[in-house]
Amino acid sequence: MPVKVVESSMNVLQAAKIRIRNVFANGCKIYLSFSSGKDSLCMANLVYEMILSGELDPKQLTVTFIDEEGLYPSMVDAAHRWRRNFLSVGAKFLWFCLPFKQVCVIDHLSASES
């Protein structure tokens, strides 16, 4: 059953944790898209800490990472660290390496993928 809390003094972190608990409360599989960017690093950290504290069931979670093979080494290193973290608590971590066609907005009229 979803947790419903409305407080005027609630901060962003508290609200995020309530939303995450609500998502996990339905008992369904949860997929967390991870890119190694700042937003997904924050979400991964929140979910991981909540798993460690026993608030979330890691068996519901599958983290997905799409490796475009053009990432900065620091982003790949972060993905490896978070993969180890999530696997260590019993969550799944899927690492996809797929060819992607990147469309460049600046050069949108040409057939080029540059």
50 vs 66: CA distance, rounded Å: 24
Q: Does 36 fall in a domain? A: yes
Number of domains in the chain: 1
Question: Is 63 domain-assigned?
Answer: yes
Q: Is residue 5 part of a domain?
A: no
User: What pTM, to 2 d.p., does this model score?
Assistant: 0.78
* pLDDT tens per residue, range 20-52: 999 999 999 999 999 999 999 999 999 999 999
The answer for residues whose C-beta is within 8 angstroms of residue 103's C-beta and 6 or more apart is 113
Which domain covers residue 92, as residue numbers? 27-97
Specify whether the CB–CB gap between 50 and 82 falls below 8 A. Answer: no
Render each residue's pLDDT in the chain as its tens digit; 114 residues: 566 655 568 899 999 999 999 999 999 999 999 999 999 999 999 999 999 999 999 999 999 999 887 888 999 999 999 999 999 999 999 999 877 666 666 655 555 554
The full length of the chain comes to 114
